Amino acid sequence: MKVSLPKGTKDILSEEMRKYRYIENVFSEVCQNYGYGEINTPVFEYTELFQRGVGETTDVVQKEMYTFNDKGNRSLTLRPEGTAGVVRSYILNGMNSLPQPIKLFYMGKMYRYENVQKGRYREFTQIGVEAIGSLIPEIDVETISLLNTFFNKLNINDLQIRINSIGCKECRPKYNEILKDYYRNYLDDLCDDCKIRFEKNPLRLIDCKQHQCMAISKNAPYLLDNLCDECTDDFNKVKEGLDNLGIRYIVDKTIVRGLDYYTKTVFEFISENVGTQATICGGGRYDQLVEMLGGKPTPGIGFAMGVERLMMEIEARGVMLIEPKFPVLSMVTLGEAAYKFSSRIIDELRKEDIFVDIDVMGRGLKAQMKYADKMKSKYVIVLGDEEIKTNKCRIKIMESGQEKEISVDSIVNRIKENKI
């Protein structure tokens, strides 16, 4: 029986893996330039962390988590997102005693049991940042700026930035009652999930993707029009900060985000190139999450994006992330003695971070030459007993077909110094 992959997973082969690593390296560099340090949290946590942090009424918790009991009958869950684990680490490791804010970035695998479609998998790679400890809107602006800089580094310069405010614990309960008054006239027309949301989390009624619910939400009152004075002032300062940096944005009153921990500023980066998967990245502020997970009241803000969806965007644009890497030199060897001699040359060049290649399949002369050509090697040297004895060999420049005679003992230095 042929072994197959579980649904919603994929092998990331070497050429694609190089692109993933490039994206991660660019992301790491940008984050560090903004003062962020990297964190790596466990791939599974106690289920309660996500129930409390993400929210029991969310689709993630209700429908999408991979949850299981271990041999000690403890309920564990493969992480469906990164923020809850980072905040748990912040609390558990006493980071509140360090100079604030604590600015962290992460890169890792996440798991959600959801419908598989292009750009959406059940095992996926997510990158994101969390800035914990600052209450002022300037950190909101910096977070959006970091993300904008990252996309610019990838030559993705025309994403649409949409921002909104979803209020705080003061103004949101009042808005929820206004929203429920509106939706009460449409209860019979709502999907089953929204009938539950109506009682437990009214704000998420606006976020439903069912057609009948989307039609109802079009005329629903907006939270942005019902903010308290503090939230209004904070949102105005976010807009002023973005204006000051020349970052263009659109105020979108319909953005609410899908997770319960968000408060105040929320934002999305939107593209036209990904079809139905238009949101490349989303994030926002979560001023109550640390307290919800057992810590002292502490504000925070962050964002996350799936690398697979980002790769779709890059492919749609035809952006060249990184040039393919080919060998500088291929050594073609004739006989065991020549192979041993050549392998020492290869080893010395590799220690100098030079990509060089040597046959490890026991191929003959013609097959080795053919393989070197397929590998697109820049230079090829044929080495046998005679070349070693006379200290003379010929190096072939593959692009032009030109050949030059050089001394065997000069191979390393000439390749290192690129003096062929």
The residue whose two tokens read 């903010």 is: 227
Element housing 243 (H / E)? helix 229-244
Quick one: pLDDT at residue 420? 85
| Cα–Cα dist 213/316, whole Å | 31
Is 329-417 in the same CATH topology as 14-171+227-317?
Answer: no
pLDDT bin (cut points 50, 70, 90) of residue 276 is very low
pLDDT for residue 274 is more than 70: no
Q: Of 323 and 235, which is predicted with more confidence?
A: 235
The domain limits of the chain are 14-171+227-317, 329-417
pLDDT of residue 260: 66
**Considering the domain 14-171+227-317, what is its CATH architecture?**
2-Layer Sandwich (3.30)
Element (H, E) at 192: helix 192-200
| φ, ψ at 2 (rounded to 5°) | -75, 130
Tokens of 250: 């659109």
Q: Which CATH class is domain 329-417?
A: alpha beta
**pTM reported for the whole predicted model:** 0.87
> In 3D, which of 309, 311, 289 has the Cα closest to residue 300?
289
Give the per-residue pLDDT at 102.
98
Q: What is the pLDDT of residues 329-365, one digit of tens each?
A: 999 999 999 999 999 999 999 999 999 999 999 999 9
Helix, coil or strand: residue 16: helix
* Rounded CA separation 282/279 (Å): 7
In eight-state DSSP terms, residue 290 is: H
**Residue 178, phi then psi, degrees to nearest 5:** -65, -45
Mean pLDDT of 296-323: 90
Q: Cα angle at 360 between 356 and 361, to 5 degrees?
A: 135
> How big is the CA angle at 156 (ends 32 and 250), to the nearest 5 degrees?
95
185-232 tens-digit pLDDT: 898 899 988 988 888 888 888 878 888 998 998 889 999 999 999 999
Pairwise pLDDT comparison (385 vs 53), residue with the higher score: 385
pLDDT at 318 over 50: yes
Q: Is the pLDDT of residue 282 over 80?
A: yes
Q: For residue 50, give both structure tokens.
A: 């996500």
With contact defined as beta carbons under 8 Å apart, do 285 and 299 qualify? yes
DSSP-derived 3-state class of residue 154: coil
**Rounded Cα–Cα distance for residues 144 and 259 (Å):** 19
For residues 26 and 153, the answer to whether their CB atoms sit within 8 Å is: yes
Average pLDDT over residues 381-385: 96
- pLDDT above 50 (res 289): yes
Low-confidence winner among 24-38, 273-287, 337-351, 368-382 (lowest mean pLDDT) = 273-287
When comparing pLDDT for 366 and 318, which is higher?
A: 366
pLDDT tens for each residue of 243-271: 999 999 999 998 887 666 789 999 999 99
pLDDT at residue number 117: 80
What is the enclosing helix (H) or strand (E) of 340?
helix 336-350
Mean pLDDT, rounded, for 145-158:
94
Give the pLDDT of residue 383: 96
Mean pLDDT, to the nearest integer, of 284-298?
Answer: 94
As a whole number of angstroms, the distance between CA 19 and CA 14 comes to: 9
Q: Provide, rounded to the nearest whole percent, the portion of the chain with pLDDT above 70.
A: 98
